[in-house]
A and B are shown apart, each in its own frame.
Chain A
Amino acid sequence: MLKLKNILFAAGLVLLFGFYLGRGNKPSSDTPVALVKKIVKDVTYRPASDVSDWDAAKVGLPLNNGGEVKTGTKSLALVLFTDGSGLLKVRENSILHIYGEKKDKKLNKNTFIQKGLVGFDVNKQEEDEEFKFTTPSVVASIRGTNGFIEHNDLDSITTIFIERGDVGFITSNGSEGNVGSRRTARINPNGTFHVDSASVQDTTTFHRTNRTTIKKIKIQTRFGELEIEYEEQENGLLNGRRNREE
């Protein structure tokens, strides 16, 4: 199984490399594929996989073809595609690779989720325009929908949840599937998959994915200012408690 996983991962990279090379056959444009719309806490980027250093990302950072975004603990990045086709919400501890190829006035997008959870809200794509998500287990083609994709790098299971619309996908063993509104697909590393009605947990995860605001409480103490950042949960409890003394 592990061998198969490695093969799939390598195949995915080769495909994406080919995608990247394909781009190189045409005169290169320096137009970014995406840009960073919002940052919460620890978000870094690098322009390509062969660049070893990750730099701190800033709001408005343009991401060119092959750019990568990485989020730390309790962090968030919102990524917009430059053709206005969609918004990605990169949740904590995720690594995202952005690829794009411009043909005429159309931008074919491919987002490789190396690990983590990414919420998406993708507008209806024009004819012969692509918006794809790739993980080591699956390639999903989006035409206009919202939901989230999560790839767990420990067990290599990919979860696709769709709130509205539907998504077609091809798994690593060539199996084809489809997942519709309020349904969830779980794709195993060997390419087998299961589509079922979304669980309460999936729906909760989706709502959490949409939440892009971290609240803060500042408390003045005799030792300095205590700042608490938190994200409100469904049940009103606090999540992501962080204390800092200055």
Chain B
Amino acid sequence: MKKFYYAVLFIFISTVSIYSQVSDYISSLRHGDAKEKSPLTITAELVQIEQISAINIAYKIFGENEYRKLEMLITGNSASVTLPQEAVIPPYIDYYLMIDLKDGTTHTYPEGIDQGVSTLQLAVSGVTEKDKEIIVLSPTDGEYLTPENLLISISFVKAPSDVDISKTKIFLNDAEVTSLALFAGELIVLSGESAEGSVPMGSSLLKIEVYDKEGNLYHTISKSFQVVTTEVFAEVSGRWKYFGNFRGESRSESYSSSSTWYNNLSADLNAEYESWNFNGYLYFTSEEKKHLQPYNRYAASIKNGDWLELRVGDTYPRFPNLILDGKRIRGVSGELNFGAFNIQAAYGETVRKIEGQLIRTYQAGEAPLGSNIIAIDEAKYNAPYGQVSLGMYSRNLLAIRPSFGSGENFQWGFTYLHSIDDKESVELGARPQENAVLGTDMKIAFDDQNFVITSQAAVSLHNTDISSGNLTDAQIDSIFGPGGYYDIDPDDVKKIRDIVGKVITVNQYIGPLNPQEFASLAGEAALNMNYLNNALRVSYIYRGNDYFSFGQSFLRTDVKGINVVDRIRMFDNKLFLSVGYENLEDNLQETKIATTKYQTINTSLSFFPRTNFPNVTVGFSRFDNNNDLNLKDTTYQRYVVDDITNRFFVQLSYDFIAGVRHNSSLSFTTQKRDDGSFSAVNSTYNSGTLTLNSYWNKQLSSIFQLIYSSTELERIGRIDDTTTAKKYDYIIEKTVQPYDYVTLTLGCKYKLLEDKLLLSATLSPSFGDFKRQALDFIADYNILANLSLAFQARIYRIPDKATNSIIGLVTRLTF
């Protein structure tokens, strides 16, 4: 077993990009290689963590106008999230971060998204084509092999004719072993017998370089695997497999003369027993405070194939996205999938109770009106009213979804969600709420999923104040009927109350008030077709202005319209053309002064050549929002929506060998917003990023990055011109606010002491309107094969203002 412990080594996930933008809360972003239909993890390195209460990522796939939101998991000084595979679709993902601060304000990263600053684009490569063409049959990533069963095998059965198999090079731990391989037609085999003595025990990195007939590098594939003894292999291949790690961190963060210590402890545990999988996760932090929502996280799950999953603790269940989609629930969730019949359920707390605080008291008749002036316990406080800092009620949520059909060709599901604030959970609170949602969803698929129809619909009821409970008979009699406010038979109202009251509290605060106008209905239907190299999706959405689900905090409501997206693969999948058009409008229940139309055009062309040439993605988007109000109409001029944003971007990535291996990327984005509204905030945004990662040898790698950013905010003041006969003309005052800066990043990683010590340093100065010097230093030392100690230091200097630092020590134990 000891040997087995030693055999488990760390796997470092290489990051392909580092973004560095101006932010007081995010120092950098990292993400893995964005490959089509592969989950993608994005990690944000944080600063000023003591001010952050939550971080969400808003992302959208090509052609969609609506951003989907996911909560990021904050652990230590980083926040991470894994985008589901269905969101990782070429040509790119648009995204930005929403940072909620403890003072109630929200910032974005990049800063100024709501003022028209461009979001981040993450190119998603359709690399699966080359991966499908050149198949590494053995080993698989992370596989354990014994020396006698060592097998490296590469198949070119599906490779295009311009690939020259004989030019293929195979490297094991950077040493070329091509000469040991057997070339058998379209198959290359290197087995343990021929590789005897050339493959050391332990972790091995296999690298395969494939060339075309002109000698150009066509594709590179890497696989990591472990060579272990027969005894260790028997342990690894046993019926029980378990992995885990503990991580402890102590960190001091100094920012603007205030210094804070953070202590965190996290543990990941994973065990497998045949088809059973068990997972556990713990995260305890000194940031956990009773007067805040939880920072600690704990979860455990058990899973068996696709048919059983049960999770307890902090879970993020996914139901139809109109109703419940990735919201954190502290409780239990799970699913049972039998194929013909399936059931999914979740129950737990979404908001923890936080007691309010009494600020001052008022005697009867003295209390002013105010949302935070509430009735209080007179006997306790010697006054009937008080001004309070409102507490938060604990909120519980129940969701259940039975469904019929496996989803392979057909599935029909029904979802019920009920969520209610516990009125008794806090004393100094106001307006506890309740929400009920009922929905159905259906999927029909033909022709091996090439023709798929999906649809879902849901209706919601939302009571914004259940403190007074259900309407009493006397209240109904006084409000309804002849002589009342509404000429409706009170008995009918009582019947409705008794029926609906079984689901949700019925009183004057329940909505929607206009259900006949479908105000609380949300629905969408989509048709996906995948034929003749076209992936066509046509969808329609409808969301009434009063639709609301406690399980889906970020859904855009009061909108309807169509969306058409087509992704066309051409020239043997070398060229991808993507075109999207969306036409939405709001004001469905005529609750606004005017109806705004949102028209979006997205186009993109991606070129993935199979020769020694960069991958290129070029994109153009146009956002046109207009509500047809006239600026000269003085009554409604402040409600005018009339803006057009044009965005153009180019991204290039290129792996090449110039002495040593490099991977490089270059991107440029330009965006211009013309705002014809009363506030008239025009903006122009240009940015460019050049990144070069170089791998000098097994020990040394480096990064060079240059970022240029230029933002110009133009404000136009409109003033009534009374000096002319034209009463409604305006004098325009133009002010321009430029904000330009350049950030240079130089960094390197160096391994020494037989790879036991990893030193990493990055220097990142910014010049121009934004001045800052940032230094990151990490020393990570493997004391034992499964125990490491890391020292992290970050220093940020803002000239003439402050020098801030984060210094921490992290220990990590893996077993």
Q: Are A60 and B137 in contact (CB under 8 A)?
A: no
Q: Which of B13-21, B231-239, B709-717 contacts A (4 or more CB under 8 A)?
A: B231-239
Which residues 439-488 in B have Cβ within 8 Å of A in the complex?
448
Interface string of B411-450 (1 = CB under 8 A from A): 0000000000000000000000000000000000000100
> Quick check: is A58 within 8 A (CB to CB) of the other chain?
yes
Q: B306 to chain A: which residues have CB within 8 Å? A: 164
Q: How many residues of B contact A (CB 8 A)?
A: 35
Interface string of B239-281 (1 = CB under 8 A from A): 1000000000000000000000000000000000011000000
Interface string of B153-184 (1 = CB under 8 A from A): 10101110000000000000000000000101
Partner of B234, one of A60, A82, A127, A216: A216
> Quick check: is A29 within 8 A (CB to CB) of the other chain?
yes
Q: B448 to chain A: which residues have CB within 8 Å? A: 127, 143
> Quick check: is B339 within 8 A (CB to CB) of the other chain?
yes
Q: A80 to chain B: which residues have CB within 8 Å? A: 137-138, 153
Q: Are B135 and A83 in contact (CB under 8 A)?
A: yes
Q: Are A180 and B274 in contact (CB under 8 A)?
A: no
Task: Report Cα–Cα, A39/B145, bound state, in Å.
Answer: 12
Q: A59 and B149 in contact (CB under 8 A), knowing A30-B184, A31-B186, A232-B239?
A: yes
Interface string of A166-199 (1 = CB under 8 A from B): 0000000000000011000000000000000000
Q: Are B191 and A59 in contact (CB under 8 A)?
A: yes
Task: Report Cα–Cα, A213/B233, bound state, in Å.
Answer: 8
Q: How many residues of A contact B (CB 8 A)?
A: 33
Q: A215 to chain B: which residues have CB within 8 Å? A: 234, 238
Q: Are A60 and B157 in contact (CB under 8 A)?
A: no
Partner of B184, one of A31, A58, A107, A163: A31
> Quick check: is B765 within 8 A (CB to CB) of the other chain?
no
Q: B189 to chain A: which residues have CB within 8 Å? A: 35, 60, 62
Task: Report Cα–Cα, A232/B237, bound state, in Å.
Answer: 11
Which residue of the partner chain A has the closest CB to B160? Answer: A105
Q: A31 and B187 in contact (CB under 8 A), knowing A59-B193, A127-B448, A213-B233?
A: yes
Q: Are B157 and A216 in contact (CB under 8 A)?
A: no
Output the least CB separation between B417 and chain A (Å): 29
Q: A58 and B185 in contact (CB under 8 A), knowing A107-B157, A180-B339, A213-B233?
A: no
Task: Report Cα–Cα, A105/B238, bound state, in Å.
Answer: 38
> Quick check: is B230 within 8 A (CB to CB) of the other chain?
yes
Q: A82 and B157 in contact (CB under 8 A), knowing A29-B185, A59-B191?
A: yes
Q: Are B157 and A31 in contact (CB under 8 A)?
A: yes
Q: B238 to chain A: which residues have CB within 8 Å? A: 213, 215, 232
Output the least CB separation between A218 and chain B (Å): 10
Which residue of the partner chain A has the closest CB to B231? Answer: A216
Q: B185 to chain A: which residues have CB within 8 Å? A: 29-32
Q: Are A83 and B157 in contact (CB under 8 A)?
A: yes
Task: Report Cα–Cα, A124/B275, bound state, in Å.
Answer: 20
> Quick check: is A74 within 8 A (CB to CB) of the other chain?
no
Output the least CB separation between A100 and chain B (Å): 9
Task: Report Cα–Cα, A83/B157, bound state, in Å.
Answer: 6
Q: Are A35 and B153 in contact (CB under 8 A)?
A: yes
Q: A29 and B137 in contact (CB under 8 A), knowing A37-B151, A102-B157?
A: no
Which residue of the partner chain B has the closest CB to A144? Answer: B448
Which residue of the partner chain A has the closest CB to B449? Answer: A124
Output the least CB separation between A214 and chain B (Å): 8
> Quick check: is B46 within 8 A (CB to CB) of the other chain?
no
Output the least CB separation between A40 and chain B (Å): 9
Q: B193 to chain A: which residues have CB within 8 Å? A: 58-60
Q: A216 to chain B: which residues have CB within 8 Å? A: 230, 234
Which residue of the partner chain A has the closest CB to B156? Answer: A31
Q: B135 to chain A: which residues have CB within 8 Å? A: 82-84
Task: Report Cα–Cα, A207/B234, bound state, in Å.
Answer: 17
Q: A213 and B237 in contact (CB under 8 A), knowing A31-B157, A164-B306?
A: yes
Interface string of A79-90 (1 = CB under 8 A from B): 010111000000
Task: Report Cα–Cα, A215/B239, bound state, in Å.
Answer: 11
Q: B138 to chain A: which residues have CB within 8 Å? A: 37, 80
Q: Are B339 and A84 in contact (CB under 8 A)?
A: no
Can you list 23 pairs linking A and B with CB atoms under 8 Å apart?
A31-B184, A31-B186, A31-B187, A35-B153, A35-B187, A35-B189, A37-B137, A37-B151, A39-B149, A59-B149, A59-B151, A62-B187, A80-B153, A82-B155, A82-B187, A83-B135, A84-B135, A105-B158, A106-B158, A180-B339, A213-B238, A215-B234, A232-B238
